[in-house]
Amino acid sequence: MAALTPENFERARAIVALYPKARSALIPLCHLAQSQDGWLTPEAMEDIAALVGVTPAEVRGTASFYDMLHTEPVGRHVIAVCTNIACMLGGAYELLEHAEEHLGIAVGQTTADGEFTIEEAECLAGCDTAPCVQVNHRFFGPLDAASFDALCERLRSGELGGDVPHHGTLCRVERAVGLLATEGERGGDER
């Protein structure tokens, strides 16, 4: 836990190498760290800072701008209920209220067992399936109270494991090659 594992450190180096300037890798590396720990630990932020050539405070300051990057621990399943216009017209606030009641927590909180965090999301671009919900950024919708409860049950039992990896895991497809077009022509650029 915490600092990047040696394997992830290598992955991080490969990601940095994809960009003309190392700092561009800052956000992809934050995602990498979150896929390891579920959130951005201070130790991981130190590693990222060293990898992209900024201070740890700059990593934190940048990360805090972005909704998906968590500098505090969150639940294993982050449930984001969209309440924006299309979802609101489809009953999203009623669903969000139900979600809070069902899980016994308010928006922004995590259940005592660390299983669920609820977030009120802005439009998730799933408006044709309103009200739209994401769990760890995997789409579900339209949901009503009953299907929401059933979804929580399936998440709790681990039945959805493959479809909904733990929080922080975004893209499970790794890039197969580095930069090829400019291979051998590079050098002297800022790193």
Instruction: Please enumerate, as own/partner, the contacts of 42-47 that have beta carbons within 8 Å and a separation of 24 or more.
Output: 42/2, 43/2, 43/3, 44/2, 44/3, 44/4, 45/71, 46/3, 47/3, 47/4, 47/9, 47/12
Of 3, 86, 160, 170, which one interacts with ligand FES (CB under 6 A)?
A: 86
Q: What burial letters (b/e) apply to 119-136, b meaning 16+ CB within 10 Å?
A: bbbeebebbebbbbbbbb
Sole window of 6-14, 29-37, 107-115, 119-127 interacting with ligand FES (rule: CB under 6 A): 119-127
Decide if residue 132 touches ligand FES (CB under 6 A): yes
As measured in angstroms, the least distance from the Cβ of 7 to another protein is: 18
Decide if residue 138 touches another protein (CB under 8 A): yes
Decide if residue 103 touches another protein (CB under 8 A): no
As measured in angstroms, the least distance from the Cβ of 98 to ligand FES is: 16
Decide if residue 61 touches another protein (CB under 8 A): yes
**Nearest residue (CB) to another protein, 85 versus 104:** 85
